[in-house]
Amino acid sequence: MASKLEALNRWVDEVARLTQPDRIHWCDGSEAEYQALVELMLDTGDLIELNPSTHPNCYLHRSNPSDVARVEHLTFVCTQEADDAGPNNHWMAPDEAHRKIDALFAGCMKGRTLYVIPYCMGPIDSPIARCGVEITDSPYVVANMRIMTRMGVKALERIERDGTFVRGLHSTGDLDPAKRFIMHFPEERAIKSIGSGYGGNALLGKKCHALRIASHQARQEGWLAEHMLILGIENPQGETHYVAAAFPSACGKTNLAMLIPPKAYPGWKIWTIGDDICWMQPGPDGRLWAINPEAGFFGVAPGTSAKTNPNALAMLDRDAIFTNVAETADNQPWWEGLPDGKPAKDWQGRDYDPANGPAAHPNSRFTVSARQCASWSPRAEDPQGVPISAIVFGGRRESLVPLVFESRDWTHGVLVGAAMGSETTAAATGAVGVLRRDSMAMKPFCGYNFADYFAHWLSFDKAGAKLPKIFHVNWFRKGADGKFVWPGFGDNMRVLEWVIERCKGTAGANETPIGNLPRAQDLNLAGLDLSPADLELLLTVDRDGWASEYASIGEYLDSFGARTPDALRQEHARTSAALAQAEPAAPKVAVG
């Protein structure tokens, strides 16, 4: 099999000459192909079959212990000019990057099969969708790409129609961390990754294409590629509003995307469009319309349980690939957070010993088709996408940041997103629990200079635009006792309701210097065991604390130099001045 597109055939030939595989396989995305790959990996030990009685067609993959998360310090954006990559990225000149990584690719596929994976990010017929081809020597990558993308014959047909595709070259190499690089060439719409088999580094359709390359492409073409979940909120009257929400990895995106409303919300439904990536494009009506470019979930396993995310847990009992979870004595997958069962083997295949740390790696994952989720929305396959009513930003902040606030307007909302901070998690290598600015949850994923990215966001506010309202949430506020104040999970529905009612103009709020906060009476708190003191903590603005925060935000904006948009600096100055003039407890003026 080969392509009708000569440019694709020529590229595959060039890669084959460089990497010297024993054979070349063009992936068709069929069930027979998938089963053959599974059998191959079972034979090599790359996969372990899990209990077929409890988890039919489920498999466990154990990665190299040095290869368990994204490696941001080895991830480069390679533009001709360093300033175009920006201080938010590690930069390398394209010629140098190609030389460095091609030397590692030389002969790396000897004794292996080169797989050609044509894939489409988004519904095949969607005008918002874009295509790519990943070349890899990893059958594990092929199996995961089949779940995570629209992969195979139909994707190849669209590539041949469009005549264009993102080129992704991947090899596990010898998994030596000293020979591990993930290089992005946004001006060439190309990706090269070697030395890792971990999802975010190896499934090139995901973060590499759908965020780093796509964000650069989106700026050129007038749309947005964002690290956001998409969910639909249907009220008892049958009216559905769609929300896009950005959170850093391992901060509860999947849980929110699959939320089950609490008992206080009879007749309400949550519809899951996606849990990680959102592509938005202005429609003829002036609204932003969004698709989830992915077809599956690559979710964090630890913490996923019947309490935190029953929809996610229910979809993991069949047709799933688990990576770096633990295993029970009867070959069921296990991770911290599950109330039942106990681990016999840890994520490295050793007999479980608590002295070795957690049984499942903190960043262990599951890969599963989105269609298996009980809350999956058929609108996820709508070529036109869904209209977005609200954009929500959120991070992991133990103090200062209220439960929820609404931006004053689009420009203020862009500042709120740009200023977003979060305490780090195990989804990336490095220290955990350190506060860092993570604008729009895109710091690891924006394929160009953040200052230009902020300007691109601001550019959507033009005549005729009907833009979503922008909000910020924080589920992770802690009290003096060190415990979370807000119950989170399903009860986040109470915040989402206020968000939607604000979009409709039917809910009240208090105007504060940082934005509009709900009053206690604006939230449905029925059935919640929340003390008045805790509620006040969640809904109060600490003027002095926020003044310090805005000083820090100003330094952060300054770090991007002259490219930082003047409109963002002016908005920052406006909020800083409002904080300086406010009473210590911040004024409570009802609005809306």
Query: Which pairing describes strands 150-151 and 75-77: parallel, antiparallel, or unpaired?
Result: unpaired
Same domain, 456 and 574: yes
CA distance 521 to 507: 10
Residues 253 and 161 in one domain: no
Going by pLDDT thresholds of 50, 70 and 90, the confidence category of residue 415 is: very high
**Residue 540: pLDDT above 90?**
yes
Q: Say if residue 346 is in the same domain as residue 313.
A: yes
Q: Which domain holds residue 11?
A: 6-47+67-222
How many angstroms separate the CA atoms of 308 and 304, rounded? 6
253 annotated among ligand-binding-site residues: yes
- Strands annotated E in 395-465: 404-406, 421-423, 435-437
Structural domain includes residue 56: no
pLDDT tens string 138-147: 999 999 999 9
Count of H-run helices and E-run strands, the chain: 16, 30
93: CATH = 3.40.449.10
**576 labelled binding-site residue:** no
Which pLDDT score is estimated for 435?
Answer: 82
263 assigned binding-site residue: no
Note whether residue 58 is domain-resident.
no
394 located within any domain: yes
Residue 491 half-sphere exposure, CB side, CA atoms within 13 Å? 17
Residues 344 and 258 in one domain: no
- Number of domains observed in the structure of the chain: 3
Residue type at position 149 = T
For the cut 60, the answer to whether the pLDDT of residue 259 exceeds it is yes
Domain end residue (candidates: 309, 337, 372): 372
pLDDT for 6 equals 96
**Whether residue 196 sits in one domain with residue 88:** yes
The answer to whether residue 425 is domain-embedded is yes
| Last-in-domain residue among 372, 387, 422 | 372
The CATH number that applies at residue 483 is: 3.90.228.20
d(CA 242, CA 358): 37
Catalytic positions are 251
pLDDT in tens, 334-355: 999 999 999 999 999 999 999 9
Model confidence pTM above 0.85: yes
**398 near 479, Cβ under 8 Å?**
no
pLDDT at 585 over 80: no
Q: How confident is the model at residue 252 (pLDDT cuts 50, 70, 90)?
A: confident
Write down the pLDDT at residue 206.
96
Pair (438, 310) in one structural domain:
no
Q: Is 364 annotated as a binding residue?
A: yes
Q: Which of 307, 337, 372 is the last residue of a domain?
A: 372
Written in H, E and C, the secondary structure of 349-411 is CCECCHHHCCCCCCCCEEEEEHHHCCCECHHHHCCCCEEEEEEEEECCCCCCCCCEEECCCHH
What element of type H or E holds 126?
Answer: none
Instruction: Note the pLDDT tens digit of each residue in 483-529.
Output: 999 999 999 999 999 999 999 999 999 999 999 999 999 999 999 99
Residue 254 assigned ligand-binding role = yes
Contacts of 367 (CB under 8 A, 6+ apart): 144, 147, 148, 199, 296, 297, 298, 320, 321, 322, 323
**DSSP assignment, residue 454?**
H
Retrieve residue 417's tokens: 């997103």
Q: Please check if 140 is assigned to a binding site.
A: no
- In a domain, residue 1? The reply is no
CA atoms within 13 A on the CB side of 239: 6
384, 289 in Cβ contact below 8 A? yes
Count of alpha carbons within 13 angstroms of residue 581, beta-carbon side: 9
Is the pLDDT at 427 greater than 70? The verdict is no
Pair 439, 417 in one domain: yes
533-541 average pLDDT score: 96
561 is in an annotated binding site: no
- Residue 56's pLDDT band (cuts 50, 70, 90): very high
Provide the 3-class DSSP secondary structure of residue 229: strand
In this model, does residue 571 exceed pLDDT 90?
Answer: yes
Say yes or no: 452 and 361 in one domain: no
On whether both 190 and 324 belong to a single domain, the answer is no
Determine, yes or no, domain membership for 468. Answer: yes
Q: What is the tens place of the pLDDT at every residue in 364-386?
A: 999 999 999 999 999 999 999 99
Q: What is the CATH number of the domain that holds 339?
A: 2.170.8.10
User: 511 and 570 share a domain?
Assistant: yes
Q: Is residue 349 part of a domain?
A: yes
At residue 431, the pLDDT reads: 64
Crossing angle, helix 6-19 and helix 94-105, to 10 degrees?
A: 60
Q: Are 224 and 203 in contact (CB under 8 A)?
A: no
Hey, which residues does 245 pair with through a beta bridge?
Answer: 229, 392
Among 140, 156, 521, CA closest to 323: 140
**Is residue 23 part of an annotated ligand binding site?**
no
Both 403 and 336 in one domain: the answer is no
Q: Quick one: 484 and 548 in the same domain?
A: yes
In a domain, 486, yes or no: yes
